[in-house]
């Protein structure tokens, strides 16, 4: 049943994205010929006014067909005034940008609602879990409150900043010579905790973790939910969107780095994560839906054809040149853009297969 809801979620995002184009086109006086979900052979359609609405057979995306999208398209005289390329550049940009804008606004609305209703998680200094076979396994317990490492409390800091400093204190205890996976630090870290209302101090020798590239004792911190008012929920939702947006830009601008390429995921991976997340509850499912919606909006703004960002880019070029860009240039740009999109698709698919058959997606 969870796969069904993943499919419904994808369909919802596609419909809303295309609806953004549709209503913006109508509002700017353009003629919309077709509004279809998916591609391929038509399964069902109905015509209302000048627009045909329908569903096609291949569940990949959707589209809105506006009269005159091709600058050399033969447009009947009676529809000339309502054709896409007969409208001012700013109207075309509004229509194209409306799709991604809907996805980004939807992501903000979902995040705002979730944070307003449930609050936000805040990491505290209590031990959430102890990793087996790590130095802290026989000493610390879930629920222990970490007060200090080596007598350092960092009381002047709060939240993640304090935990970062505490982690750096542990990492400062290094192995003798070269740091290799599994080596034990030469000096112990003094851990001051509160357990059952009593203060206790333990000496724990950190162990070097190759993946983390630093010395660890093997604990993760717990978290608590903090209530938010409307302003706080909006601020936190905005911060989350900015974090994802900046992260997305970073990945695409560092694709030549192997580690960054591993961050790219495709439909298969998103579907698999969605299937797992839905089983973990409504809140996580909504947060994933917001993330996918935001990603859909951001990726569509990449300045390459046939993505929305490509249409915006060439519309701006036309405005700066003072005349339309030739169809031949647009066709070549589209061919290059399709090649790039296919590259992203196969890169994402390759990563998805690797995760599914290997380490998995680590949904927690």
CA distances from 36 to 51, 55, 103, 162, 286 (A): 10, 5, 18, 52, 25
Residue 344's pLDDT band, with cuts at 50, 70 and 90, is confident
pLDDT of residue 223: 81
pLDDT of residue 267: 46
Per-residue pLDDT at 256 exceeds 90:
no
Per-residue pLDDT at 22 exceeds 70:
yes
Three-state secondary structure call for residue 42: strand
pLDDT of residue 348: 62
Residue 275's pLDDT band, with cuts at 50, 70 and 90, is very low
Top mean pLDDT of 89-98, 283-292, 352-361 is at: 89-98
pLDDT in tens, 46-63: 999 999 999 999 887 889
CB contact set of 63 (below 8 Å; sequence gap of 6+): 18, 34, 36, 39
The residue written with tokens 């296919």 in the block is 342
pLDDT of residue 36: 94
The tokens describing 62, both together, are 């959707």
- The C-alpha R_g of the chain, in whole angstroms, comes to 26
CB contact set of 123 (below 8 Å; sequence gap of 6+): 159, 160, 163, 221, 222, 223
Q: In the chain, what are the domains?
A: 2-31+67-118+239-357 (no CATH), 121-226 (2.30.42.10)
Picking from 8-12, 169-173, 253-257, which range would have the lowest pLDDT averaged per residue?
253-257
How much is the mean pLDDT over the chain?
85
Per-residue pLDDT at 175 exceeds 50:
yes
Per-residue pLDDT at 279 exceeds 80:
no
Q: What percent of the chain has pLDDT over 70?
A: 86
- For residues 232-237, average pLDDT: 92
pLDDT of residue 121: 79
| DSSP secondary structure of 227-281 | ---HHHHHHHHHHHHHHHHHHHHHHHHTTTSHHHHTT---HHHHHHHHHHHHTT-
Per-residue pLDDT at 360 exceeds 70:
no
Of 222, 255, 219, 279, which is closest to residue 2 (Cα–Cα)? Answer: 279
Per-residue pLDDT at 269 exceeds 80:
no
State the pairing for strand pair 198-204/189-195: antiparallel
State the pairing for strand pair 51-66/120-130: unpaired
């Amino acid at each position: 049943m969870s796969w069904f809801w993943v499919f419904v979620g994808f369909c919802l995002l596609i419909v809303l994205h295309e609806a953004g184009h549709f209503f913006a086109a109508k509002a700017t006086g353009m003629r919309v010929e077709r509004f279809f979900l998916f591609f391929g052979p038509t399964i069902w359609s109905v015509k209302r006014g000048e627009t045909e609405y329908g569903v096609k057979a291949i569940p990949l995306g959707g589209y809105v067909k506006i009269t005159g999208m091709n600058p050399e398209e033969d447009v009947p005289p009676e529809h000339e005034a309502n054709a896409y390329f007969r409208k001012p550049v700013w109207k075309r940009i509004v229509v194209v940008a409306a799709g991604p804008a809907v996805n980004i606004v939807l992501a903000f609305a979902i995040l705002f609602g979730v944070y307003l209703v449930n609050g936000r998680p805040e990491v505290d200094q209590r031990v959430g879990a102890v990793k087996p076979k790590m130095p802290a396994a026989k000493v610390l317990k879930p629920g222990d409150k970490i007060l200090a490492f080596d007598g350092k409390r960092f009381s002047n800091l709060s939240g993640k900043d304090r935990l970062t400093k505490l982690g750096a204190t542990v990492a400062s205890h290094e192995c003798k010579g070269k740091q290799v996976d599994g080596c034990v630090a030469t000096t112990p870290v003094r851990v001051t905790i509160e357990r059952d209302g009593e203060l206790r101090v333990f000496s724990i020798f950190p162990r070097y973790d190759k993946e983390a590239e630093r010395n660890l004792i093997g604990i993760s911190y717990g978290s608590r939910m903090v209530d938010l008012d409307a302003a706080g929920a909006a601020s936190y939702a905005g911060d989350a969107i900015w974090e994802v947006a900046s992260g997305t830009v970073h990945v695409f601008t560092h694709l030549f780095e192997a580690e960054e390429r591993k961050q790219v995921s495709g439909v298969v991976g998103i579907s698999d994560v969605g299937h797992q997340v839905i089983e973990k509850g409504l809140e996580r499912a909504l947060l994933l839906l917001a993330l996918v919606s935001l990603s859909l909006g951001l990726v569509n703004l990449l300045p390459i054809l046939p993505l929305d960002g490509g249409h915006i880019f060439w519309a701006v070029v036309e405005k700066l040149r003072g005349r339309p860009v030739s169809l031949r240039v647009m066709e070549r740009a589209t061919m290059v853009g399709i090649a790039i999109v296919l590259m992203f698709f196969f890169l994402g698919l390759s990563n998805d297969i690797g995760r599914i058959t290997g380490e998995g997606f680590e949904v927690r």
